[in-house]
Structure 1
Amino acid sequence: MRNNLTVTLVATILLLVIVFIVQGIGDSVVKAVDKRQNKQETKSLKIWGAIGSLALVVLIGFSLTTKTETTDLKVLKVGASPTPHSEILEHVKPLMEKQGIQLEVVKFDDFILPNKALAEKEIDANYFQHEPFYDLAVEENSYEFVNQGAVHIELMGLYSKKWRSIKELPKGATLLVSNSTADWGRVITILKEAGLVKVKPGVSLLSATFDDIVDNPKNIKFSHRLNPELLTTAYENDEADLIAINANYADTIGLSPKTDGLLVEKEQSPYGNILVSRKDNEKAKEIQTLKKVIHSESVKKWIMKKWDGKIQPLD
């Protein structure tokens, strides 16, 4: 709205300037001719000068109005991780533009700044985190955010260069996971469903830590020293018996949870990646339009095709 008012004001001022310039030129011409021609000819020149000025103003005004209409897009700034979040947003840009909204994607390489930027109103929404991570961030920072729903899930898998199946895993094997506490319960859930660990009664798997494990027959040792994006390098360097890697990172080195994972979380996992807004803009047309577009059937099909099922769209 502010941009539109600015453009309109500039256009109005420019038109007035043009009118004065044209009128001034016309008056000068008329005065020059007035010395040589009779009054009737002078009157005729004035009429034609006025018509010419009006025509010029109309043409320029039409040009400015047309330019204003083509750029009359509301801007929606969304913070996102490079992959697959930013790629998905780039794909929906043309769809948003058809709705009169210019989608601006702001890329972040860490997992702290996107929420901070949203809270400080540097961006309008973000799309980078799964729901348990979001819940923990809101609890720890008292963010006034709104979960606008899950868009996709990146299935986590446990990968190994040393072993071809989980049955080969020896006692005392090392499992390398990320240093994000929101991922620990996710890994524990995978191990529990495979019968490799048990946790204390009453402990929620979403918030479970490795200290909550009460039965670990293979005596698996847990290491959580690396950021999530560094786990692929650890895998390539064969730094552990098992390495828990999210599908978006696994894809960057050619790994697929379905074909390469020794263990993979279930598709009904609660770790869907969500679109997040603030409470003060949760019902904004731009936010709700993005929510609708990103959940459209055409976008879902594109996600499935693009990542061959490694990244799965959610309703």
Structure 2
Amino acid sequence: MKKSLVLLGAVLLSASLAGCGSSGAKEEASKIVVAASPTPHGEVVKHAAEEMKKKGYDVEVKIVNDYKVPNKLLDEGDVDANLFQHIPYLNAEKKTHHYKIEEVGKVFTTPMGVYSKKYKKLDEIPDGAEIFVSSNPAEEGRFLSFFVNEGVIKLKDGVKIEDAKFRDIVENKKNLKFNNKQSAEFLPKTYKNGEGAAVIMNSNYAIDNGIIPHKDAIALEDESSPFANILAVQEGHKNDKKFQDLIKVLQSQDMKEYITKEFGQDVIPYGGGKEK
């Protein structure tokens, strides 16, 4: 009889532990920690978290205001996903750091803009002018695109604008000088101080510093830009159900309407605000 009771107790304990393990695994599967830049990235993820909660997910936003940190966190498994970068930047990071990270899908574009306290149009920028840009090499083609489109700068044949580097310039009609010694977060201050002829910066940094891109920029990217920000995860996981559910919410019509309402022309939702 005692032996039977001991055996029964062991079975019940085993069942109890199995139940705990199942509950823990379920909780782990429903939890998604996303590293994101503050605005608009973090705000967009927070809005998505509300809809994801209805689907049984707990989405947590980890705000990171440093471009070098989110991919490191993701690669090391400290977060489940990130939202802050475009494909050219991710490719550069993978090449440099050998990160095992992949794109799930595009979410929105934070338009790059040219800002100036001295000139009202791009073609007013004079010969030999100094243009302040960030120290991010993955953005060099993006900086150059404004002047390539104006016909001021010409690149080597066959070089795509998203892959272009300063070294690919074969013609610089105005002998423009690009100062890339600052990190992106310092550029709003450089602009406000009126340094150089112009400053090129991303709209998320502009917005964070009280600058209104569609009003203050003398040139601004539109929805044709190839630099859309993406949701990224560790390689081999982009098709995981929880990430597919998340990208659907991030690309939904509700999200497009939220982005347009909150950020107007300064953030372009994937698909240009139209149902895809």
TM over 0.5: yes
1:118 counterpart residue number: 74
Q: Which runs of 4+ in 1 moved over 6 A?
A: none
Q: Tell me the CA shift for residue 6 of structure 1.
A: 7.0
Q: Tell me the CA shift for residue 286 of structure 1.
A: 1.4
Q: Tell me the CA shift for residue 72 of structure 1.
A: 9.9
Q: Deviations over 1:249-302 (max 9, x none)?
A: 112334333332222224211100000011242222211111111111011100
**Which of these residues, 236, 243, 254, is aligned with residue 287 of structure 1?**
243
Q: Tell me the CA shift for residue 73 of structure 1.
A: 8.2
Q: Helix, strand or coil: the match of 2:35?
A: strand
Q: Helix, strand or coil: the match of 1:111?
A: coil
State the identity %. Answer: 35
The answer on 1:239 being equivalent to 2:195 is yes
1:35 counterpart residue number: none
How many residues are aligned here? 253
Q: Matched residues in 2 for 1:168 and 1:120: separation?
A: 47
Q: Helix, strand or coil: the match of 2:39?
A: helix
1:47-66 mapped onto 2 (5 Å cutoff) = none
Q: Which has the larger radius of gyration?
A: 1
Amino acid paired to 1:147: E
2:88 counterpart residue number: 132
Q: Label 1:9 to 1:212 Cα distance change in 2 as closer, same or farther (>3 A).
A: closer
2:221 counterpart residue number: 265
Amino acid paired to 2:139: D
**Which of these residues, 101, 106, 112, is aligned with residue 57 of structure 2?**
101
1:199 counterpart residue number: 155
Q: Tell me the CA shift for residue 145 of structure 1.
A: 1.9
2:106 counterpart residue number: 150
1:165-180 mapped onto 2 (5 Å cutoff) = 165-180=121-136
Contact 1:73-1:97 at 8 Å conserved across structures: no
**Which of these residues, 21, 39, 49, is aligned with residue 83 of structure 1?**
39
Structure with the larger RCO, 1 or 2 (CA within 8 Å, 6+ apart): 2
Q: Tell me the CA shift for residue 111 of structure 1.
A: 1.2
Q: Matched residues in 1 for 2:201 and 2:262: separation?
A: 19
Higher helix share: 1
Alignment TM-score, normalising by the size of structure 2: 0.85
Amino acid paired to 1:294: L
Gaps of 5+ in 1: 11-67
Q: Tell me the CA shift for residue 162 of structure 1.
A: 1.0
**Which of these residues, 240, 262, 265, is aligned with residue 306 of structure 1?**
262
Q: Label 1:80 to 1:6 Cα distance change in 2 as closer, same or farther (>3 A).
A: farther
* Root-mean-square deviation (Å): 2.3
Gaps of 5+ in 2: 1-15, 272-276
Q: Label 1:6 to 1:306 Cα distance change in 2 as closer, same or farther (>3 A).
A: farther
